[in-house]
Amino acid sequence: MKWMSQKHVDLGSGSVGRLLLSLAAPTITSQIVNMLYNLVDRVYIGHMQPTDTVGKLALTGVGVCLPVILIISAFAALMAMGGAPRASIQEGRGNSREAERIMGNSFTLLVFASLILTLVFRIWAEPILLLFGASENTIGYALDYLNIYAIGTIFVQVTLGMNSYITAQGFTMTGMKTVLIGAVLNTILDPIFIFGLDMGVQGAALATVLSQAVSAAWVFRFLVGPQTRWHLRRENLRPVPSVFLPCLALGMSPFIMQSTESLITVCFNSSLLKYGGDIAVGAMTVLSSIMQFAMMPLQGLTQGAQPIISYNFGARNVQRVRDAFQVLLKACIAYSLTLWLLVQLFPQLFVLIFNDNPDLVNYASWALRIYMAATGIFGAQIACQQTFVALGNAKTSLFLAVLRKIILLIPLIYLLPLFFSDKVFAVFLAEPVADLLAVCTTVILFTIQFKKSLAELEQSPS
């Protein structure tokens, strides 16, 4: 296909629909590969011998490290998703120099955050892991994994954070290769280190660190090479508050969305354990896995649309911004409605992807219909919310991120069981109720502010 051979795309001309496809397809692929990247370690570790003892304990220990990995990724998103749209807007205004300043400041802050996170997770690893659910039986495996993984924090930050500045320029195939290189290398190194060198959990962590280091080197080499439009220059590395503070403000929305995932999981699990026992908690693990995997195409679509919207907003091309959003909205709603219909008709098929225990499959299939009852309209939520980010609207995007998860979802998890006799049903119902309220609020705010932003853009002097 033509888009597969493109190295760079023109964000300011051509069919918006085809352009979105050319940008979204590689980003969706990257999202899926990145998810598989995180699963590979657990697959190999789960087969450590003897599988009924060591494998299960080691797998649980590594699973406890997942909230830490999410936190590290959230800090990468803080500068990546906050800085990349602003850099695209500056590029659209013809100010490549300012786009490079934003990228340079982001790189410095990513390195600084990496050093702080490495020290925190190395010094306080054990109490942090115990807080996230490690037990006496699993803490040893969790520490073995995290102590090595934490050393590679800088590679994770650079790979995830700076790769966004590659895709923001329209080099989506290069961005996809960043993820593929690390994923393939990790898949090769895992069995060598875990089984061949008999390093166990430590081998899995080392394989991940080395793979991320290679991906980080790939990203760095591209951004200082001749192909990139924005170059990583030494003079732009010195942090300037007027440059990086607006990026941090805009990045708070994706940061909160990612960093609160662990908190949401803890809230759901505590309530479900109280009202439904272990099988309800097991079902929630399956449901969250399905939701996370199913939402990836939506995330890929919005990430593909971001450079188009941001660039043309900076270029004051009002009609193209409007067209890009409309194409994104239609694509997101079409996908979310299709997903909702499939979940309601065939919930067992989705559950069987992650578990084949008959009792758990029946329980999770019932719960999935409730948990994803509002998925059909969620496409509007993510399209509008991420367009706020693409337009550089930090305040509204931050409010919407806080609204759905913290203001609505967490209280509903604990309040709804007070009004229903079926407590477990009420806990699962918190998700669609929060989604419905969040979508209504988001669409109303977006309708008002989007028109206002485009009107101001048309009236402002060039």
In this structure, are residues 116 and 99 in contact, taking their beta carbons and an 8 Å threshold? no
pLDDT of residue 434: 94
Q: Where are the domains of the chain?
A: 2-7+15-252, 309-459
Tokens matching residue 203: 């081998």
Tell the burial category of 281 from Cβ atoms under 10 Å away from its Cβ (0-12, 13-18, 19+).
Answer: middle
pLDDT of residue 3: 35
pTM of the model: 0.75
pLDDT of residue 4: 35
Q: Is 2 helix (H, G, I), strand (E, B) or coil?
A: helix
| Closest by Cα among 293, 9, 59 to 166 | 9
pLDDT of residue 93: 82
Taking residue 214's Cβ as centre, other Cβ atoms within 10 Å add up to: 17
pLDDT of residue 44: 65
Tell the burial category of 49 from Cβ atoms under 10 Å away from its Cβ (0-12, 13-18, 19+).
Answer: exposed
In this structure, are residues 314 and 92 in contact, taking their beta carbons and an 8 Å threshold? yes
Tokens matching residue 116: 């702080």
In this structure, are residues 377 and 336 in contact, taking their beta carbons and an 8 Å threshold? yes
- CA dist 239 and 187 (Å) reads 37
In this structure, are residues 196 and 225 in contact, taking their beta carbons and an 8 Å threshold? no
pLDDT of residue 8: 55
Q: What is the dihedral of CA 335, 336, 340, 343, to 10 degrees?
A: 60
> What b/e readout covers 445-456, taking b as 16+ CB neighbours within 10 angstroms?
bbeebbeebbee
Instruction: Please give the chain's pLDDT, 462 residues, in tens.
Output: 333 334 555 666 667 777 777 777 777 776 676 666 666 666 666 555 554 455 556 666 666 677 788 788 888 888 887 888 888 888 888 888 998 999 999 999 999 999 999 999 888 888 887 776 666 777 787 888 888 888 888 998 888 888 888 888 878 778 778 878 888 888 888 788 878 887 877 888 888 889 889 989 999 999 988 888 889 898 999 988 988 888 888 888 778 877 777 678 778 877 887 888 777 877 777 787 788 777 878 887 887 788 888 888 888 888 888 888 999 999 999 999 999 999 999 999 888 876 667 887 888 899 999 999 999 998 898 889 888 888 878 788 888 878 888 899 999 999 999 999 999 999 999 999 999 999 999 999 999 888 888 887 777 655
pLDDT of residue 6: 43
Residue 108's alpha-carbon distances to 11, 80, 237, 250, 382, in angstroms, are: 27, 12, 6, 17, 29
| Closest by Cα among 360, 362, 363 to 424 | 363
Measured distance between the N- and C-terminal CA atoms of the chain, rounded to whole angstroms: 38
| Closest by Cα among 435, 388, 379 to 412 | 435
- CA dist 287 and 296 (Å) reads 15
- CA dist 100 and 212 (Å) reads 24
